[in-house]
Every structure is written in structure tokens, then in C-alpha cells.
Structure 1
Amino acid sequence: MPYLVRHTSPAAPALRLVCFPHAGGGASYFRGWARHLAPSVELLAVQYPGRESRFTEPLVGEMAPLAEAVSTELAAEPPLPTVLFGHSMGAMVAYEALLRLEASGATHFTRLCASGHALDATPAGVAEDTDAELIASVKALGGTNAAVWDSPDLSEILLPIIRNDYRLIDTYRRAPGTPLLRAEVRAFSGDADPRITPEQAALWAGATKGPFSAHLFEGAHFYLTDHAAQVAHHAVAGL
């Protein structure tokens, strides 16, 4: 199945926003952003294998094939000024996809919004934790409704996905000599996020030779849940 889920399909789109979910997340997380965007913005989200509409497909446990698959599909879309927005693990998938797109000569991917993840983050080191420890880590970040973990059936479904994604991001390292992006980079973070400080967010400036700005929001790791309208606005502002 395709990696790209189309949440809006304007008749005459002027801009495309592509959203990359966090570890354990799916494309549906960004569906509600449609109401915060202008009617001319085409909203897409990436659906990683093994969840939601792709539940029966094998999980992808390494960054390279995941980024390659997403970039291939993005390259096949009609050229349009495009913003990539990735949250947490999604920030790094979006970054790696953009590196591939720029290497192929694409120039219409104009901005990367990297949310909730440092450029060269220290691995969280929880992928090999016990089930109970892993659930506690996920709950502490607040991204998944805590009630789902009270259901043994749902926990059995979600745990392999979470563990896969945590392992993927923990084993990921930027390749030596990675080129600077041409696109603008905007770093987004919550002021109470235990995973990334404002100082770490500012280090994204070193990933591009284009413009850079940092945007700090009130909240923890999933600050964007409560500030969806503001975050969506900042993602596409000025384009």
C-alpha cells in the first residue's frame, strides 16, 4: 500500500504539507490539521507499515529503507511547494527523506519542520526494556491515551509497533559527511519536553545552508496536540 495518505485534495493546490508521525503513530494523528489550514493547502501524512490501514504489513525496522520508500513516493507527486513536518521519530524520517529528495535534484521541497527531536539525539535506550518499562516510558511522554494500555488486547497490538520504532530511532545515526540541506529548517519543541531542550533544538541550524528558525511552544513532548492550530500555521507560514 502507499506510504502517503491524502487528508485534503484541493482542486487547485498552492502548497503541500506532508506530516511524518512519531514512534507508534499513524497518519490519522494529523487528520484534524485540515481545519487549521487554508483550503489551498494539500495535506498529506505518511503511513508507516504495520499500523492503521497498513496493519497487516511487516514493520520497517531501519531508517534507510523507510526514508527511501517515502522519498520515492514524494518524488512521484506533482511538483508543488512542499513542507515536510515530522514529529519525534518522524522528524528524522522527514530529514532523511529530504536528504534523498535534494540529492535527486528536487527543488520544490522548500522547508523542513523538525519537531520534538534533536538532530543528533542521544538514544533513549528503551527499545529493549521489559513490556512494563516500555509502557511506562510511553505513558510518561503522554502521546498515547493511557487507557489503551489498560487493555491487554490493545497492548499486545501496540507494543511490537512501539518497540520497533524505538529501536529504529535508537539505532539511527547520521552518515558521516551528510550534506547540508538547501531547504529552510524550522525547529519546533515544547518548553517542558524531557527529550529536547531549546538549546538542542537550536542545533538544527547546523543541518542547513538555508534559513533557520526555532519555535518554542508551551507543553511537553506532545505539545502539538494542544496547539495544533498554532503549529500548523507556523509550519506553512510565509509560503
Structure 2
Amino acid sequence: MSRSWTDVRPGGGEAAGLRLFCFAHAGGGSAFFHPWRKALGPGVDVHPVVLPGRERRAGEAAHTRMGPLVDQLAGELSGRLDLPYALFGHSLGSIVAYETARALLERGLPAPRALLVSGRRGPFVPSSRRPVHLLPEEEFLAEMSQLGGTPPEVLRQRELLRHFLPPLRADHEVNETYLPPRLPGPALTCPVFAFTGDADPLADPHAVAGWREVTSGDFRLRVFAGDHFYLKGAPEEVMAALRSALGGLDTGSSDPRRHLRTVGA
């Protein structure tokens, strides 16, 4: 039996005016965003998304393709749109957040007030990195170690790796087999805020600037000091940028059709 797709803090959203759905990097989980609840304050109801194959959903099979993953996500999140909402994603989570926003629009549901993306090139920017999800284990682990997101104690312990590697590989397969939308369909007119680290080997500022193509609304790019995981531990400079972006959103009622246009139109 599947479990909840979001990590909800009991009573945590009672004073909130905005719900923030958070999507982690490949292999990541909801715990990555737990410090954000205090950092962003009571006005933002932080809802980390828990994908199959990790944390309390470790017994479920992880997705390997974007389409089925996003279809299920949109169905699950559709019941949690009682507040104005925004979506934040880091690395793989950026593209999952983007496609989830498009899927919600396809269903005629309220549009996000903003999309916030981090540590990933824009959807229409080609990858300059070789695919890794089919690499032999030692080569795959070497690639993960270079990125710095996998705890060293996990990489050293084979028993831990036995549980950790399958969803991590599956997440990379989702990312590496993903094709951006080319046919007419919902796109965004809400603001898009893009963030990256100045030493990120996967997402240099020029590639991250490609996110401006997904919306006809405002686009802003912010570069922080750091590598691919510049935001780990909720550093104050990053949290201040998020508070500024979210605090400037219009969270009044609106017709979701105002936020929908057609790709290529």
C-alpha cells in the first residue's frame, strides 16, 4: 500500500498563507527540507514530497520514468491545493516540480504562484554529462561521490548501499531519460526563480538561465557561493532569498486559467 506523498507537519500550516511543495535531488528525501520549516516561518507551509523508494516509502518500487511519476504526483497533490501554492525543486527535483506544475494545469487545477528551481539546467538545455544510471556500481558510486550529496558513511557501507542504490539509480534514470515538452500543452506564466551554486559542475549559471524558456512571466536567476549542494543545511543567505521570493507573491484568489498558455503560442 502506498503512503502519503508529502511529509506534513501536524498543525504546521494553520497560520500559513502559502503552501510550498519541495522536491529533492536524486536519492534525496523529505528530511532535506525539514530545516526550512523554521527558516521560512509560519507563513509558509512546507510540504516536502516523499517519492516511492525512500524514507517511509522504502518498500515501494521507485519510478524510472517521468510520465508515470508525475501522473501519480498530480493526482496526489490535487487534494492539497486548498492554499495558494508554489513548487521548489533541487536538481532532479526541479524538473519533477516543473512537470508536476504542467500536469496540474492540464487537469484544470489552480496554478502555482511560482516555480522555484535549483541546481539543474533548463529543460531545453542539452546535457553535457554522460548518462550514469547504467554504469557499473563502482563507477556509479565514484560519480555520486564527486557530487558530494551522498553521505560518505553510506558509500562505505555495503549493507546501506543495498537499500540506497536502487532508488538513487532510478532517480538518475528518470532524469536521463526525460524529454522536454515539444508539443502544444500547458506552460507557465507564473514567476520562475532559478538558483545555483557558482561551483556547481552540473548547473552553471548559463545553463540554469535556460529556465526562462518555461514561462512568459517574470524570471530571476540567483547565483550563490558553493557547489551542487550549496543549499544543504538551509544557509541563511539562501533562506533569505527564498523568503524574499515567496514573500513577494500574490496569494490572493485568481482564476487558474490566467496562468495557462500554450507552448509555442
* TM-score category, normalised to shorter length: over 0.9
**Aligned residue for 1:16?**
19
Q: 8 Å contact 2:20–2:85 — kept in the other structure? A: yes
- The structure 1 segments of at least 4 consecutive aligned residues displaced by more than 4 Å after TM superposition are none
Deviation string, structure 1 residues 40-90 (Cα, Å, up to 9, x no partner): 211101101011100111111110111111122221114222110000010
**TM-score calculated relative to the size of structure 2:** 0.85
Cα distance in 1 between the residues matched to 2:239 and 2:49: 16
Q: How many residues end up aligned between the 2 structures? A: 239
Structure 2, gaps ≥5 residues long: 250-265
Cα distance in 1 between the residues matched to 2:103 and 2:131: 27
Cα distance in 2 between the residues matched to 1:33 and 1:227: 6
**Aligned residue for 2:176?**
170
**Aligned residue for 2:102?**
99
Cα distance in 1 between the residues matched to 2:204 and 2:81: 37
Q: Secondary structure of the equivalent of 1:68? A: helix
Q: 8 Å contact 1:80–1:108 — kept in the other structure? A: no
**Aligned residue for 1:204?**
211
Cα distance in 1 between the residues matched to 2:237 and 2:21: 16
Q: 8 Å contact 1:7–1:31 — kept in the other structure? A: no
Q: 8 Å contact 1:124–1:170 — kept in the other structure? A: no
The Cα RMSD (Å) is 1.6
What letter corresponds to residue 212 of structure 2 in structure 1? A
Q: Secondary structure of the equivalent of 2:19? A: strand
What letter corresponds to residue 169 of structure 2 in structure 1? R
Cα distance in 1 between the residues matched to 2:86 and 2:13: 16
Q: 8 Å contact 2:198–2:223 — kept in the other structure? A: yes
**Aligned residue for 1:229?**
236
Q: Secondary structure of the equivalent of 1:109? A: coil
Residues 1:43 and 2:46 are matched in the alignment? yes
Deviation of 1:29 (Å): 1.1
Question: Aligned residues: percent identity?
Answer: 36
Deviation string, structure 1 residues 97-132 (Cα, Å, up to 9, x no partner): 000112223334111111111123416411111111
Structure 1, gaps ≥5 residues long: none
Between 223-232 and 125-134, the greater mean CA deviation after superposition: 223-232
**TM-score calculated relative to the size of structure 1:** 0.94
What does residue range 1-239 of structure 1 map to in structure 2 within 5 Å? 1-7=3-9, 9-120=12-123, 121-122=126-127, 124-177=130-183, 178-235=185-242, 236-239=246-249
Deviation of 1:183 (Å): 1.7
